Amino acid sequence: MTLADIVSITGMGGLFEVTARRNDGLIVTSLADNKTTFVSGRNHLFTSLDNITLYTTGDGVMLKDVLAEMQKQQATNDPAAAKTDADVKAYIEKVIPDYDREKVYVSDMKKLLKWYQLLAGKNLLEELLKEEEAPKGEEGAATADAELFPAEEGAPKKKAAAKAKDDTKVKKEAKPKSTVDKSAKAASKPAAPVKKITTPRKAS
> Where does the pLDDT of residue 129 fall: very low under 50, low under 70, confident under 90, or very high at 90 and above?
confident
Fold assignment, 3-130+140-148: Arc Repressor Mutant, subunit A (1.10.10)
Indicate the pTM of the whole model.
Answer: 0.63
Percent of the chain surpassing pLDDT 90: 59
Instruction: Flag whether pLDDT at 39 surpasses 80.
Output: yes
**Distance between CA atoms of residues 121 and 32, nearest Å:** 10
**For position 193, what pLDDT does the model report?**
53
Instruction: Flag whether pLDDT at 166 surpasses 80.
Output: no
**Distance between CA atoms of residues 150 and 95, nearest Å:** 37
CA proximity to 27, closest of 15, 39, 12: 39
